Amino acid sequence: MAFKWALPTLHRQLFRTLINVNPAMGLSSYALQYKECGDPNVVLEKVEYETCEDLQSDQVLIKMLAAPINPADINMIQGKYGKKAKLPAIGGNEGVAKVLKIGSSVKDLKVGSWVIPIAEDGTWRTYGVYSEE
């Protein structure tokens, strides 16, 4: 299997990437994204995007701490999993993240809380903004 070594290398690069903060532009984030299904070595690409730090009242900003690579992730990318991803998609279905910032009406989470993000949004990312729900 060709992706046995290449995919973990991409994964390590994602989580070792230095963050860049520009107050005028927001938080520079990275993710492993695919725009079509196929061989993960071919279709996955590391992309940079801006994560808005101006949260709505019910939102939280998270930093991914860990996100494994498992067979279901590979099957999703290949298009062989029971559920199809809405493309373009960020890889990863599992992970743990730390809350960095909360919106004004967030009640059940605190800065520093560890959370499990929604799988549908992809966990192979450095940062994300989610609803408290």
Which residues are identified as catalytic?
A: 81
d(CA 124, CA 93): 8
Both tokens of 86, joined, read 């809405």
List beta partners, residue 52.
none
> For the CA atoms of 93, 127, 18, 6, what is the dihedral angle to 10 degrees?
20
Only one residue has tokens 């290949």, namely: 78
Both tokens of 54, joined, read 């101006």
Give helix then strand counts, H and E, for the chain. 3, 8
